Structure 1
Amino acid sequence: MSAPGSSGEQQSPPPGEVWLRRLMQVLILDVCSSVVIGLALTVFRGTLWLNVAGALVVLAALTGALFYFQPELARRLLERAVAALRWAGSAAVWTLLGAAAMTAVLLAVLGVLGLRDAGRPCGQPLGLRVLTGPEMLTPLRDAAAAFVDGRRRHGCRRYTVDVVPEAGPVPVYDGFTGLWKRGESADSRRLYGPQPDVWVPAAGSEYDFVPKSRNQAAPGGDLRFVRGPSLGTSPMVLALFPRAHRNVTDTNAPLLAPSIKELLDRIARDAGRRRGIARPVPETSTPALLATPALYDADPATPPAADERAASPGDLVAPDAVSLLCRFREQAARGLDPPEDVTVLVPEQALYDYDMGRPLGDRCGPASPDSFVSAKWRLYPYYAPGLPTLDHPFVQVKWRGQDTAARDAAVRDLRDWLVRHPLTAQGLRDDHGEFPLQDDSGEQRLAGLQRLVGEHVLPYQVKLATPIDVQGALDRISEARPKVSVSLLLDLSGSMGGSAEGGGSRLARGTSFLQSLVAQLQANDRIELRTFSSAAPPHDRAAFGNVPDDSARPDQKALVTGRLQALTSGGSDRSLADAIEDADPPAGRRHLVLLTDGQVPATNPDLDERAARLAGAFRNKHPDLRLTVVVAGPAGCGAGPARRIAAALARRGERSCVALTGAPEQEQAAQLLAGLRGGR
């Protein structure tokens, strides 16, 4: 029996509650459907919240119209949808529970595997050796670091990439033709670098300069090259410091000057008196070597010898562009003013690194590009069609006994990675001479340099200019500059085995300096080597360390370099005056470079009398001889026998004594040789 007022069936809710429940169901369905539709539309176009809002308005209008005109049909459709959702909801719950369980199991398995892999020691990564010019060290090292990081497996490195600088086209030529056999000693590693797996020359003409074997394409040879794609292009530019740039810049002038001559004339007219073009030493800098003939040809009325005299002011001699640019940074840090009276010849990419404050190879670290000092020393590039474009080809080097499948695969992996991640992100242009304004990550690349130097400075595209061949450039420079005849006189006494500044022995430091000097000589220069100590008189031409005077051809330079590497110290001091007289250099204009640790007065008795004899009878016999004493010991040129002997044969205006410093030997050798050629 039922209670009063009750029935055996469930009572229907009041009409108001029914409509409220149906309204909530409709809202939930409409909102969920709108989100799904909005997500689907966002895949193609638009913003998520706008798509959701639009779909919700449309669905709400359709639902309202359906309830207004067909309320019974709308009620039945809503009840069926709710019933279907209840069934689907139960199925979805069980499905989600199963998926959660499977996910937990999978995560547990992956965690166990991860712990197992983390506990394992990493294997030895395969090391790759990359040789390139000093200007390309920073971009290639950044790219190599990204490559190594991107190729990690289970947190372990698969590769290491060591990027080292080359010492110029001639040492690279000697290294490859000699199969790097002289690269075992510490001195030679400083000159040649490690035996490379990859070589990125400045231009294809530098690659063509190195001789290839006749069976270059056949496997099994001692050395084979596989030339790959260009890694990016960089035009050579003439750059000015801010004050000169303000006087020269013209918003109405084209960004690319009609010719080098017109550009140089415009700079000379508007920037005031010029001291010359600061150009790296061509023998040690391939970019400078390839650009120098273009400067010679700019004005046919000016002989190349005059152009050569105007290049490389004495205080700005540097072996490569990064050394020159680092000298500017060093002077800026000391609060000096920039040399506004010089024009700077560098690759655009090196100028990008300099102005953007990036590290410059091994020479100097980063700087703040937006600081007042950096703005004061900023360089502004100028372009002309005759200046060559560097194309930086990727060259795989295969050595006998090292050409394994794993190494070959690693080199090809690096090459493919560099193709997919081009060096346009490092300040280079693409194969068409263009620079991208912005990439997908928002990185501005060369456009960042445009922000610093101004809008009307960098052309979007530079027409590619093929450089002259390396041998042709060397011949042109050899014809234009003064010839030098150098006699090297090396102290081999036991004290040369003492420690030098920066580590190593004084003899090792001195022979490394002399090797760099020999490497920068041209074929029509002359070179001889003499050694001296109490056990090795310099007049004994048959002694092992002595090499007779001859033209500085590759075989003569190789002979001198080989002897320098094989020398050891021994015996007591031989007085410097006796060594110079016994050397008796050949007649004619001759430069005598005496390298010693300075010695002491005890081993140079009657120093004043001997110095007077040098200044008298010896000078009369050799009126055109110029003596330069290079001191590798701690005393330097300030005191001791070295200073007295150098002063005895010094001529007015000539620097007769040089002390080796902590700077790279290659840079110091370039400065000394420039002084010998120019009479400075």
Structure 2
Amino acid sequence: MPPYDARGEANRAKRHRAVLIGVEHYEGARNDLPAVATNLRLMREALTAEHTGMLGPDDLVEVPPDGDRAATVDPLRVRAALTAAREEVDGLLVVYFAGHGIVRPDGSDLNLMFTDSRVTRDRHHPFVDTLSWRDDIMPELRYARADWVVVILDCCFAGNALWAFSPAAGQNFALLTAAEPGVEIPPGDPGTGTEFTAALHRLLTTGQGEPVTFTRIVTGIRRAMAPYKAVDGHPWIPDERRHGDDVVLALAAGPEPPRQPPEDSARKGPTGRWLRPRVPALPHRLLPVLVRRMTRTTALVLAAAAVLAAGGTWYLLGGSGDVVCASPLELRVLTDPDLKPTVQKAADAYPRRDAHGCRTVGINVYDAKATDAVSALRSSSLWQEPPAVCPASGTCPRPQRDVGAQPDVWIPAAGSAWQRATAAGAAGGPGGGEASASTGRNVVELERLGSVAYTPMVLGVPDTLLQAQSLQTDDPLSDIVTGLQAVQEVEILRPDPEVTEAALLATDALYATSADGHASTVEQGMAEALRPMPSTARDLMCALADGTHNELEDRAAVLVPEQTLAQFNLSAGEAGRPACATEALAHRVAHYPSDVPMLDLPFVRVTWDGADRDTAAREAAVDDFYEWLTTDRNAQKCFTDDGFRGVDGGDPAPPGDDSVLRAEDNTTAVRERIPTTGPDADASASLNDTLSRYRGALGPGRVLYLLDNSTSVADKRLWDGIGGAKDLVARSMGSLGTRDSYGVWTAAVAPEKPVTQLVKLRPHGRADVRKAVADAGTAAFHARIGAGLGAALAALRDDPAVVEQPRLLVLVTDGEDFDGVGQKEQAELVTDARRAPPVRIVTVSLQDGACASGRFGDRLAAASGGRCLDPGDDIAAELAAEVAKAGTGDAE
């Protein structure tokens, strides 16, 4: 599908708009940002430029208005501008922000700051007069009528917005951030603007030969920012998320400015890259005047350069003569999120230039969730032919949106991903043939050429915990975990298996460690320890290092690639240590499970049916890039510097002297020689089953509320009002979605009945259930707690079709009728609570006593892995958090 073009014939009549927000002046402790005024001017020029701009001057809304630099910018005014744009724009909507950004201590909840914004000591509401990206801006734009929404954030911690990027299903939405998560950026120069926006202006106004799309902007802005450093010396890498195909942000401007050949060492930049000299564009009306003042020879040189430019070629007026460079062949390399930083570094180092110093191959590296990449390559025709109608599930597979452009090369983390993508009998694999319209058909050949590097999966255990050296290698994960847990409390963590192949391989082995064999037991335990689960191994280690999970960090054993563990083991100041690493993170020793396959980073050539343009040149470029990655010392160093093991005759090479694995911090943490763990056999069926179990374990859930509605609850004023039983239940339902099954039963019934079904256990709309709860009354009977618990447990388990599903029983009582449950019945119910499939029981006691150690509520919680909450807890918040572990409403 071609990129969306607001100036195209089909969209020209629609309403387009840009909301430009710039906050220059701040009250209180925040410094002013005088570069913001220049930023707004640059964006105004770029978006409305006569030949390249996508918008007209009347399409701009500026806060504050142009020329009013001293104006106070308040969040209400910005919110009003966004609301108006959400309702009125049906074409292209661009939102740009320049100013201060701030996040919570754990890196969550990016807030955009305005003139009177301030920070308080209230840990629940630390920011005043700000706008939360997660709670204010993203929800506002998620329901915009616009065909395309593009947001650009030029502020500190802009990348943290990526964690709460949640467009509506089917919405075209792109987010470009000035830097990666956790990175602060310099304030910029008042005369030229911030480095990020200045580079963005150049890209939007000097696009060469073809329109400037969002994907081209991403590649260009990363290249432009590579020579710069962010605050504290961090690499300055803009980041992005895109939900949709692509969108044009500027039209072509004509010939591209000259490139500098490598022979001219005087122009070499601070990072060793060749910088392109700035050649200002000359207005056509000035050329005759300038030519009249030049010599005949100079005029002829300019004329020759103009001819070359008109022909679409690169040109350069060098000291020894003119050099003409053709546009390089572009290779698109798709990789796993765990590998992206290293593969990008290798691609940037790829040295292919011709005798004149012109680059012959350009490499564009991008990543996608491992599951999305596999699904897209199995249904490869959907890249060109997305389904016209979504299936009943409402989920439309769209590779351009979920993955990106059609790749020429795929470097997944492990051969298991390649096995799943080429599995026989599936679209996208040998023998797949035709498939349904929703799954697509096979239009690619995936040729595995070999591995570019290796790294084994390890269980990283803090060296402060007791661990048996005999379990460091050659034992299955279950034995290692059992040995650790036998002598101390240990939490096993791994990243989201939807996102990286490493986490999926780890999860496959991890489910075998569950005592009851259920994935839901493993996943709910992890969710209780750390929620939401970080996306990548690096994100997981960063979360443990940020200082807000100190107690968890001390007992967390992490399933991550060896190279990630090795990097985070490095001491402060050591080259290669991640920017987010802190002294709060313990040094970890690697255990090598025998049943978790090694990551072998296969290089896969992707050949598309009918893609005949430049076929021979493209094949040669792919071969050359592979050969360089696997044999060139500088290429391999890109991987070994990041803790990977190099390639030695197709096998993992022992770490060299300059490897991170040989650093002093890792000499006792990692093993130099390790066994190769495959996968030699086809692992696709096992991993597909694991993925299915994982998805089932995280919802939709089954939640049943059992309410004590006896008259004693009403007499104690615990039934109605704020903080009463009905209010607590209604408020906790905010985490339940339309796909969850939930019900409300009452336990004060006549002796011949176990319960009254106030709301049946099935999917509902929340409003109807809340009304039923609000209208519920008490009954003149004792609450039959024992009978109600037994019936509720049976009902929650009465769904044999879905074994891996979160199940939660919430008992709300004043505690008085607990005394009516005899010791024998209590013992039977505690035994029932341990049965499979697991049901977590959360007891809410509205009076003290029921949750004391050894009491019935405490025993139910211990047996089921649940909780017992009493007035000593923040019941409303804690109950909502427990329901969120089973419900999918927050995810919707």
The structure having more radius of gyration, on CA atoms, is 1
TM-score, with length taken from structure 1: 0.49
Normalized per residue, which structure has more helix? Answer: 1
